[in-house]
Structure 1
């Protein structure tokens, strides 16, 4: 794994950043592929700083001469549910350190930070939030899944799942199962499904992501306002036409 982390940065045109988005691409892509998503977030949240990391390894799904800028967070060659967990292990501490360095660089704390992952990047974002509860305030997981369903929910991080109903790469059932588990363990989570979408971030899901960011009040904020009342249940399914 490379120790040099390549990063693309977008910052507000003026003034100090008020939010930090950290974007994690899918397997075989790179930070530059997250550019359109970064620009959309900047339009919706002009005072946000947006960072996109390159995956830590060259993509090994192509002959070396064809790799170019393709990256991965971990190899999917011969991957099974068991090996996925093991392959994540060395990545998580490095990514945690990178996120913390980004927070320090822009002068923002954990609760002002949102991890946004697509596919393999979403897997990594979910596992990072599970391992280091409170490292970020929110996770937007597009077309992702847990490596293994959690036994307990993070208490300081809100999780938002976005999935295509026709996703042939990571089936939508993984998102539904994650949502059910998080409801069982009183996690703070939402789910939006675009029934006609595949393995993608389409316009409908992106609109819902912005809606969730603007309108979902984290349960920890409710608990603080109500004097540490009991945990509220996760929000239910939202299906999009």
Structure 2
């Protein structure tokens, strides 16, 4: 897989970053679609650095001439519950390296880093935190799920699930199942459910403790 990753960056107007947010878009979107969310985070956390990566592949759910800037992290063509985990495998090491490079670039570590994933991006965020425990301090997973429910919980990452109760793509039961499994294995996790997961976005920044003056 190519290591050339298109990235949008927002940094503090002055001073060094105190927090790092990495935004992972959903299938068929791209990094630019995360712009409004990046601006929201910057208002809440003026000293945060915010990065949004483009998915590693062109979106294959449209005819070639209609793709435009649409991206995906992995193909969902013909995807089943049995094949989802295998499709993640080539993506996770590349994304892991990209997050580490971003941390090094801004001089911040695990506890100051938050992954924010949406739909397919949320799947990646959850699986990345599971595979590489200690990479990030928090995950905000909007309308996502695990590819495979974990046998153990990450010990160094707090997980927050946000889901629409009427989500027709990734049913809310997946989030409930994840919470139950994490409770069984003593994971640190919370869940918020609304009619529409995106309406929960304004609540998300309250889950990150702001630096003391």
TM-score, normalization by structure 2: 0.91
Residue 115 of structure 1 aligns to a residue whose secondary structure is strand
Q: 1:24: Cα distance to partner?
A: 0.1
Q: Is the 8 A contact 1:195 1:240 kept in 2?
A: no
1:66/1:162 CA distance change after superposition, 3 Å? same
Aligned-pair Cα RMSD in Å: 6.7
In structure 2, relative to structure 1, the CA distance for the partners of 1:119 and 1:240 (3 Å cut) is: farther
Tell which structure's C-alpha radius of gyration is larger.
1
**CA distance 1:94–1:156, shift in 2 (3 Å):** same
The higher-RCO structure (CA 8 Å, 6+ apart) is: 2
- Superposed displacement of residue 38, structure 1: 0.5
Q: Classify 1:132/1:71 alpha carbon distance in 2 versus 1 (closer, same or farther; 3 Å).
A: same
1:141 maps to what in 2? Answer: 141
Aligned to 2:204: 232
| TM-score, length of structure 1 as denominator length | 0.81
Aligned-pair distance for 1:82?
1.3
* Cα pair distance change 1:232/1:58, threshold 3 Å: closer
SS of the aligned residue for 1:136 comes to coil
Query: In the alignment, is the contact (CA less than 8 A) between 1:114 and 1:137 conserved in 2?
Result: yes
What is the total number of aligned residue pairs between the two structures? Answer: 211
SS in structure 2 of the partner of residue 222 of structure 1: helix
Residues 190-220 of structure 1 show CA distances to partners (whole Å, capped at 9, x for unaligned) of: 0001135xxxxxxxxxxxxxxxxxxxxxxxx
CA distances 1:101-151 after superposition (whole Å, capped 9, x unpaired):
000000101110000000000000000000000100000000000001000
Aligned-pair CA distance for 1:240: 29
CA contact (8 A) 1:186 1:231 kept: no
Q: Is the 8 A contact 1:149 1:181 kept in 2?
A: yes
Distance 2:175 2:132 in 1: 21
Cα offset, 1:155, TM superposition: 0.1
For structure 2, which runs of at least 5 residues remain unmatched after alignment? Answer: none
- Deviation of 1:26 (Å): 0.1
Over 3 Å counting, the alpha-carbon distance change for 1:240 and 1:175 in structure 2 is farther
Q: Structure 1 runs of 4+ off > 4 angstroms?
A: 230-241
Instruction: Flag the 1:80–1:237 CA change in 2: closer, same or farther, 3 A.
Output: farther
The structural deviation recorded for 1:65 is: 0.6
| Distance in structure 1 (CA, Å) of the matches to 2:42 and 2:19 | 10
